[in-house]
Structure 1
Amino acid sequence: MIWIRDRLRAARKHPYSVTFAATLFMLLIYSVIQGIYPFGEYTFLRKDLYHQYLPFLAELRRRLLTGQSLKYSFRLGMGASFYALFVYYLTDPLNLLSVVIPEEYLLEYMTFIAYIKMSLGASFMCRYLRYRGKGERTVYAVMLGICYGLSGFLAAYDWNVMWLWGIALAPLVLMGAEKIADGERAVLYTLTMTLTVMSNYYIAMVTGIFLIPYFLTLCFDNFRGIRNTLVSWLKLFFSTLLAGGLSAFLLVPEAWAIMQTSFAGGDFPDGLEFYMSIPTLMMRSLAAAGVETGLSHEPNIYASVVVLSFAALFFLGRKFSLEQKITRALLLVLFYFSFNTNLLEYIWHGMNYPDSLPARQGFLFVAVLLITAYEGLDGAGRLGGLRLGIAAFIPAVFLVTAIVFCRDDSHVTDHMWIINTVFIILYLGFFVFRVFFGKGYTCKGVYVLCMILMAELLLNFNITSERNVSREGYFAHTKSFAALRDMAESDNRLNQGHFTRFDAVDERIRNDACLTGYNGDAFFSSTLGEAAEDFYGSFGMKSSRVHCMATGLTPFTGALLGIDYVLADEFRNNETDYDVAFYTGEYDDDYLYRSMYMLPFGYTVPCGTYDPADVAMAADPVKRQNIVALRLAGEPVFEEADITDASYGKGHAEFTVSCDGHYYAYITGEADEIKEYTSRSDEAWGTFDEMKYRSIMDLGRLESGDRVRLESEGDGEDEWDGESDIGIYRFIPENMVRVEEALGNTSLTLTEFEDDRIEGIIDLPKGRSLVLAMPYDEGWEVVADGYEKVEPERFYGYLMKLDLTPGLHQISLVYHIPYLIPGIIISA
């Protein structure tokens, strides 16, 4: 109580620092409760922070310290523009300070700067509220600023560190827009919008869309005549253009990169669709409502239950005109429809449907709700008991509605009802006695209100933003994989020691290549090119709009992709179950295997056009690989397995193999998780998860007479069923050797290899083309013999193919960031 009292007194003179300190203090308490390191064994890691942001920051830090290129990286899958990734994920200037942070504490640094940004967002919201209130009601501005910093939106997305600057700056952007509407200068708006665009263009886009209706309400509420209003709109428009122009050196190359992904060219909705009921939307404003970060459309819009009462005061009070109340109500209704309809969702998310992370404009709804609550409190002193009573019962109406209509919602738990009931009763007491409407900030009622509010916010944050990733578990393989990488690179001579590519069997961290520092084959990023998605998916590897993984890799696709070694987290016996790569070494509990069939970074294929459509007619990816192998070397590398005593059922297949060999299977029907059992053991030999991506299943080496059973672990709906939904294949090693010889006998001899510059020599036979185990990218400039420019082509839509005249050639490849120069010119 004394601490709260002292802070409230300090809030008069230092409201912004108090708001910042209080929010940061509560986040530190949250860390203690959650046991986040150094207060426990857990980490701040969750969702994309786990897979993307930390590995990407580790890669940026490594490049800054070693002087490696920021233009391109072979640690991004098979290779990708690092600049595009930097613009999308890493432009936060605080990321540059990572160079002075020890590598082992990089995660804690990211956690700390996330807390700093959330606390700054609270402080900036306090600043904007005081601007709207002309410096009055400072304590309430502090309280509501903390509500912004610990809102349900941030409880859901606090891990999304690339959004946090935009969310933190949003109140200042709105304040700058309001200054323009009031006829003041556009300096604040231009500066903050520019910083928002540079820190994360996506949040800047969402904020920019919101500014259209918001600026309308500002101009309407403070109408200064048609001429002045038009001037304000023009000032806002040109200030926004200036912010975009100053950021063009980032935006223009990034726009090109996004156009190469599956997110470009989305289809406009054909009809209007509603996602949820009004009671569900009301439930989302209550405390302890489970956060939604998946495929459901439910928004994360909690900001404290008492804020609902405070906002109601705005509409019940006499201070604001009916027209102002109507415009504010329309703005809030617009949000509710944008959360609930496919058409507005499509527009809000940049003419696209998000794969997950719904209602990304939710932080702006929270901002409007808090503005409304603050203005409601400003006029509450003039209200009578009846209107105060109505406002006091608004949260109860939300709660009762949710209890009646939303009991079966997956985000609802029993303790949610208890928590909301307790806090609603506590807040109701303040309305009944009207204690906190007394004059002066030393009122005991305000002290108690602050304590209850902070307890509610802290409780909600702990319940809805739980952490369960241990630090030890996350970094379990980092040290050993790095040691095995060094072991492999010192031994590998296939590419003259210049380049080694790895496949990591453990996919717990999808961008582990960035985290650990090796050239990999997996990439999880919104900048992933559509060509990678198509190639991986077509040949039976896991892929989507945002990731491509080597799950489903075969010896044939591994050779085409230039994979030299496999990093494994468990031992595999070469003689009994794993004969496509041989044991090379181990470190701690992790193992290194060298691929049995390897192609160099640059290998040759028969001249011609290699179109993905040439293999698209094949029924499954194994047969597609056979088509490619036949064309490249005249030999298929798989044959349909000779099996006996086969039985099939819904989500079930059982058979006996007739000869020794390495076997693969492919399911054409729907499945979630499939387990493989063999007659050698009662335990599952392999588990194949996320089968919705239709990846090939590696059944391992089997001996004649082995009985195999495949069991689906899904929910029983729309699963594979019958012999027609499954293909069983046996790998033909002798044919793979012929493929390896045909493609690898003439290869590129590397003389220099940097991420953005490659040089080599090749003596090309007649009728052959050079294929490089890297993605086709318009940014690569290829020159032969120092003067002849070569136009790269696509090899099956993805890899890079060079058509050269027969004979000896010196090949040079240099990467230039596409459209960077036009962007710099615009910014200049």
Structure 2
Amino acid sequence: MTILHSKTLNHAEYAARKKEPKLYLLLSFFIPMIFLGIGLVLQDVHPFGDRQILVTDFWHQYYPFLRLLHEKLQSGGSLLYTWDSGLGTNFLSMMAYYAASPLNLLTALVPESVLREAVTVELLLKVGFAGLFFALFLKGTFRRNDFSLCLFSVMYALCSYILGYYWNIIWLDTVALLPLVVLGLVYLVRDGKYRLYVIALGLSLFSNYYIGMFTCIFAVIAYLCLCVFYLRPRQLSGRTLAMAGCSLLGGALAAVVLLPAYYGLQLTYSVNNVFPTMVQFYENWQTLLANLISYHAPTSKDGLPNLACGVLSLVLMGPFLRSGKIRIREKIAAILVLAFLMVSCNCNVLNFIWHGFHFPNMLPYRFSFLFSFVLLTLAYRGFQLVLEEKLKIWDVLAMLVMAFLVFLVSYHIQENRAVYWSLITALLYAVIILLYFRQFFNKQLFCAAISIVLAFELFQNVKLGTEEVSTSDYASYPTAEASVDALLEEIDAQDDTLFYRTEMSTWYTLNDPALYGYHGLSQFSSMANESISKWMLALGLPASEAGNRYYYGGSTPVTNMFTGIRYLICRSGSVLDNREWQSIARDAGCTAYKNAFDLPIGFQTENDLASYECQPDGNPFENQNTLFRLATGIEQPLFTAVEVRDVNYSGASALKNGYGNYTYQAETGAVNRSLQYNYQTQRISDLYGYMTVTGGTNVTITRDGAFLSSYSISKQPYIFPMGTYEGNETAGLTVALPEDATSGIVTVYVYQLDQDVLTEGYAKLSAGAVTLTEFSDTRLTGTMTAQEDGLCYFSIPYESGWTAKVDGVRTDVTPVGDAMVAVPISAGEHTITLTYKPEGFVVGALCSGGAIVILILLYVLERKRKRPLLQPIPEKPKPEELPAETETEETAS
């Protein structure tokens, strides 16, 4: 980080500055937008083709949550809570990570039918703002207003970090705002102006607290550098106090989302990370340095850090390091910052600290855009020397040396095409600067020549980046949307209750409720409550604590009762457990079902339910038996295990280690390898299965050898229905082994459901059902009649933000399994009210409101005093600017 000293403007200069043309700022905004827009057009992105920018987590997470925010903005729903994800979740903390971008407010102006196009435009705007804000940073820091702003701002807006991670649209606001934060620091230290820093930092943290955390760390580094560049020792304490106060004020501006997000994070799996015990380095240093060149695909998911930001930035490091016009301490500080960021990308301990004491899952080195920012700032300093100073031949030689160093470092490391093209580009830049130095070019031709080479380089990088990130099909997202919408409308027309839940028999994304717009169970989010994931995993639903997900797949009557699932939509095929589901509507191959054993969001259970403990590593059928017994008081088990009648192994053998537990060994050279387990009951029974196989991806269900259905078991295992069987029918479970399989573990459970026990338990639980009389995003009220003392269980994820009143009296909420809400009740008729307010929201709102008030008061105070609160640092005059008769103490002595 290096900053050019320059004098404070007087009133006349400031007035003239206000009249400066804004052309270069506009170009800095529109050029990167146009470049990336062309790249997307070449990828056939709609409306110029049949593709879309939704890929990976953008496809699974970001767009569904943006659609959910869009719905709330248009309908006036609460931003504090949503029922369209994870049975109900803290929407404010989720929004703080996924959807807090101020640009998202603009989506409220468009209908949902064009929301994906609006999101594409939003992406282009964010990239444009990255260029504009970097240009503002250069203009305000170095006090220039010429075409050089466009050159370097475009390199920042189209650096490899943005080109590789632009699909991670939720990060781009804070990446774009970084230059404004640093410019605010420059104004604070150099000029005594604090407002830009406070507002930019607050907006950065508000837009995305996670990337904002990187900005905060870097702000400290940048401030230390600025102290070295500008401050004398006696000025240090005052500016440091000002910087600390302004940082707190900026954080307070965003506290309305920061505090709820902080408390929300305490419920997630990420709080369980362990600090590394040994220092390790990931990559060879030459490999990292070789990633600085252009013309190669950026990292889009896993790989090396995205460090490249244009070959010109590397070439200009030659004049920067060689020039005597730049002070040694500036060079040392700059190289130390670059080295620290580079080491952080390669050292496990620093990487862990940078990411908030957490090792990220995919998308490594999420702070690497800071390296590009620093490198481009140094390069701009070198470019100033080219434009303003009389170059020496040594400067040109330094550029040539840098060009060949780029070649030597990356040769045999990066692909040959990238190495040679980067070398040619570096030489072209050096030759153009040499011709300018020899006055073959005037300044206009010089800038034009540099711009042509840079445009070619950046367009190639954009093309490679958009190809690497890829696209997805536009027309099929989300699948069967029209039919699902029609069925949801039909369900709503048939159901006159205030609240009910729906789910899909198979998942399309892991956030189908948010994507299609219904009250559902599924959630895949970095803010997923770990306790809920364990609860779902224990009940045999697909879930992963470390994967931050739980979602609907398969089911039993027990899981549907305790999660409140009333309706099920099959986008294709039909359900196997048709005694539990009743068909109510069809549309173009999609079918809607109603739960025959439906329970509302709240119902009475035995007091013993409070003692239920989740056993996510246990047998899910036995977990369900325990839950059902504690809730109903019925001792007879609901599920009983069915023993294997026979097995059929092909190309493999297996050793049984106990009920449902096997170790298999694949035969070398076998073409087809599979494991089949056959079961037979003694009476008519509904069967449910659960299976995990090392290397297995799908399990096939057969009845007497005839195909019934198949289920994916490649990631999270779950209970799946197998259908109803007569006593003389054979149920088969078959899984194919991969070609490279050698050995592994098999877990296979098959249980039969006791319909009599189910009917008895359902009658008991439904007798204490809650009838809702009031329902909103953050409040629900219902009445119930309890036959005896017990618990009123609610299928609502437990958080400290929930408060309960029974008959108007505040009552403690009892968590069941540390996961779900329950309220103690006595025998008789009751009115129960549950109210939600995110923990930390009130304090955060007060902090944000207070920060705004403080900023207004400070502004009024400055206007009244007619002078700033902080005085600018007076520039130390150069020796030639001192009056001839002036003597310093040193010269007098």
TM-score, normalised to structure 1's length? 0.89
Question: 1:426-450 CA deviation, whole Å, 9 max, x = no partner?
Answer: 4313424623556676554542432
Mapping of residues 517-596 of structure 1, within 5 Å = 517-541=517-541, 542-545=543-546, 546-572=548-574, 580-596=580-596
Show the 5 A alignment for 1:169-188.
Answer: 169-188=177-196
1:639 corresponds to 2:640: yes
1:666·1:695 contact (CA, 8 Å) conserved in 2? yes
Alpha-carbon distance in 1 for matches of 2:739, 2:688: 21
Match of 2:249 among 229, 237, 242: 242
* Structure 2 counterparts to residues 292-307 of structure 1, below 5 A: 292-294=299-301, 296=302, 298-307=304-313
CA offsets, 1:365-413, max 9 Å, x none? 110011111112223465555653453454554455445346xxxxxxx
Distance in 2, matches of 1:798 and 1:282, equals 48
Equivalent-residue separation in structure 2 for 1:549 and 1:686 (angstroms): 18
Offset of residue 100 of structure 1: 1.8
Between 1:481-490 and 1:263-272, the stretch displaced more is 263-272
Match of 1:711 in 2: 736
CA distance in 2, matches of 1:21, 1:726: 58
CA shift digits 1:533-565 (9 cap, x unpaired): 221222222233422212353332122111111
CA contact (8 A) 2:275 2:357 kept: yes
Deviation at 1:715, TM superposition (A): 5.8
Q: Take 2:39 and 2:550, find their aligned partners in 1: how far apart are those partners?
A: 35
Relative to 1, partners in 2 of residues 1:430 and 1:746: Cα closer, same or farther, differing over 3 Å? Answer: closer
SS of the aligned residue for 1:772 comes to strand
Residue of structure 2 in register with 1:275 after alignment: 282
Match of 2:475 in 1: 472
Specify the alignment match of 1:413 in structure 2: none
Counterpart for residue 4 of structure 1: none
How far residue 110 of structure 1 moved from its aligned partner, in angstroms, is: 1.5
Please say if residues 315 and 426 of structure 2, whose CA atoms lie closer than 8 Å, have aligned partners that are also in contact. no
For 1:418, the equivalent position in structure 2 comes to 417
- Residue in structure 2 matched with residue 483 of structure 1 by the alignment: 486
Residue 34 of structure 2 aligns to which amino acid in structure 1? F
Q: Corresponding residue for 2:119? A: 110
Task: Report matched runs for 1:765-780 at 5 Å.
Answer: 765-780=787-802
1:701-754 per-position Cα deviation (integer Å, ceiling 9, x unaligned): 56723443212449637x6435xx433333444433333223223211222222
Indicate the RMSD between aligned Cα atoms, in angstroms.
2.8
- Per the alignment, residue 782 of structure 1 pairs with 804
Pair 1:74 & 2:50 matched: no
Q: Which residue of 1 aligns with 2:454?
A: 453
Which of these residues, 769, 782, 788, is aligned with residue 760 of structure 1?
782
- Structure 2: tracts of 5 or more residues without a match: 1-19, 655-663, 667-673, 851-893
Taking a change above 3 Å as real, the CA distance of residues 672 and 430 of structure 1, as seen in their structure-2 partners, is: same
CA distance in 2, matches of 1:104, 1:513: 17
- 2:260 is aligned with 1:253: yes
Q: Indicate the structure (1 or 2) with the bigger Cα radius of gyration.
A: 2
Aligned to 1:50: 59
Change (3 A) 1:421 1:681: farther
Q: Distance in 1 between matches of 2:537 and 2:181?
A: 42
> Which residue does the alignment assign to 1:363?
369
Equivalent position to 1:791, from 784, 787, 812: 812
State the 1:688 CA deviation.
1.0
In the alignment, is the contact (CA less than 8 A) between 1:436 and 1:443 conserved in 2?
no
Deviates more, 1:763-772 or 1:330-339: 763-772
Matched, 1:695 2:718: yes
Distance in 1 separating the partners of 2:733 and 2:845: 60
Matches within 5 A, 1:284-683: 284-294=291-301, 296=302, 298-380=304-386, 384-385=392-393, 388-392=396-400, 394=402, 397-405=405-413, 416-432=415-431, 434-437=434-437, 443-466=444-467, 467-492=470-495, 497-541=497-541, 542-545=543-546, 546-572=548-574, 580-608=580-608, 610-611=610-611, 613=613, 616=615, 619-632=618-631, 633-646=634-647, 647=649, 648=654, 649-650=664-665, 652-659=674-681, 661-667=685-691, 670-671=694-695, 673-676=697-700, 678=702
Contact persistence 2:312–2:429 (CA under 8 A):
no
1:7-39 per-position Cα deviation (integer Å, ceiling 9, x unaligned):
xxxx98621111112112212212211111111
SS in 1 for 2:846: helix
Equivalent position of 2:138 in the other structure: 129
CA distance in 2, matches of 1:405, 1:373: 24
Code of the aligned partner of 2:749:
G
1:555 aligned partner, one-letter code: P
Distance in 2 (alpha carbons) for counterparts of 1:612 and 1:338: 45
SS of 2:794's partner is strand
Q: CA deviation at 1:55?
A: 2.1
Deviation of residue 823 (structure 1)?
A: 2.0
1:594 and 1:609, CA in 2 relative to 1: closer, same or farther beyond 3 A?
A: closer
Q: 1:220 aligns with which of 223, 228, 239?
A: 228
Cα distance change, pair 438–176 in 1 and its aligned pair in 2 (3 A): farther
> Residue 473 of structure 1: SS of its match in structure 2?
coil
Determine the C-alpha separation between the residues in 2 that align with 1:747 and 1:302.
61
Q: Of the candidates 150, 156, 162, which is equivalent to residue 148 of structure 1?
A: 156
For 1:92, the equivalent position in structure 2 comes to 101
Does the residue aligned with 1:654 lie in a helix, a strand or coil?
strand
Question: How far apart are residue 173 of structure 1 and its match?
Answer: 0.8
**1:639–1:383: structure 2 CA closer, same or farther, 3 Å change rule?**
farther
| Offset, 1:303 | 0.9
Q: State the distance in 1 between where 2:390 and 2:689 align.
A: 74
2-structure distance, mates of 1:452, 1:701: 70
- Further displaced range: 674-683 or 603-612: 674-683
**Structure 1 324/70 Cα, relative in aligned 2: closer, same or farther at 3 Å?**
closer
Q: CA offset at residue 140 of structure 1?
A: 2.9
Q: Distance in 1 between matches of 2:224 and 2:92?
A: 37
How far residue 232 of structure 1 moved from its aligned partner, in angstroms, is 2.0
Looking at structure 2, the residues matched to 255 and 618 of structure 1 have their Cα atoms a distance apart, in angstroms, of 28
Aligned to 2:884: none
Displacement of 1:71: 2.4
How much has 1:817 moved relative to structure 2?
Answer: 3.1
Moved more, 324-333 or 274-283: 274-283
Aligned partners of 2:443 and 2:477: how far apart in 1? 48
Deviation for aligned residue 1:700: 5.0
Verify the 8 A CA contact 1:679 1:708 in the aligned structure 2: no
Q: Which amino acid aligns with 1:292?
A: T
| Structure 2 counterpart of 1:797, one-letter code | D
Q: Which residue identity lines up with residue 605 of structure 2 in the other structure?
A: V
Q: In 1, Cα distance between the equivalents of 2:93 and 2:616?
A: 34
Which amino acid is the alignment partner of residue 635 of structure 1?
Answer: Q
**Alpha-carbon contact 1:764-1:806 (below 8 Å) kept:** yes
Measure how far apart 1:300 and its partner are. 1.5
**Letter paired with 2:454:** L
Distance, in Å, in 1 between the alignment partners of 2:141 and 2:435 is: 24
Which 10-residue stretch deviates more, 347-356 or 793-802? 347-356
Tell me, in whole angstroms, the C-alpha distance in 2 between the residues paired with 1:441 and 1:241: 48
**Matches of 1:320 and 1:598 in 2, distance apart?**
75
Contact kept in structure 1, 2:131 and 2:157, CA below 8 Å: yes
CA contact (8 A) 1:339 1:359 kept: yes
Q: In the alignment, does 2:202 pair up with 1:194?
A: yes
Say which SS state the counterpart of residue 781 (structure 2) adopts: strand
Asked whether the equivalents of residues 655 and 707 of structure 1 are also in contact (C-alpha less than 8 Å), the reply is: yes
Q: How many residues align?
A: 795
1:730 is matched by which residue type in structure 2?
Q
Give the drift of 1:485.
1.3
Instruction: Tell whether the 8 Å contact from 2:503 to 2:513 is kept in structure 1 after alignment.
Output: no
* Cα shift at 1:609: 5.1
Q: Among the aligned pairs, what percent are the same residue?
A: 24
Q: Aligned to 1:20, which of 5, 23, 29?
A: 29
Q: How far does residue 580 in structure 1 lie from its aligned partner after superposition?
A: 4.1
Q: Does the aligned pair in 2 maintain the 1:76–1:514 contact within 8 Å? A: yes
Q: Rate the CA distance shift 1:790–1:170 in 2: closer, same or farther, 3 A.
A: same
**1:320-351, CA deviations, whole angstroms, 9 ceiling, x for partnerless residues?**
23332221111011111111122111221222
**Aligned CA distance change for structure 1 residues 306 and 578 (closer, same or farther; 3 Å):** farther
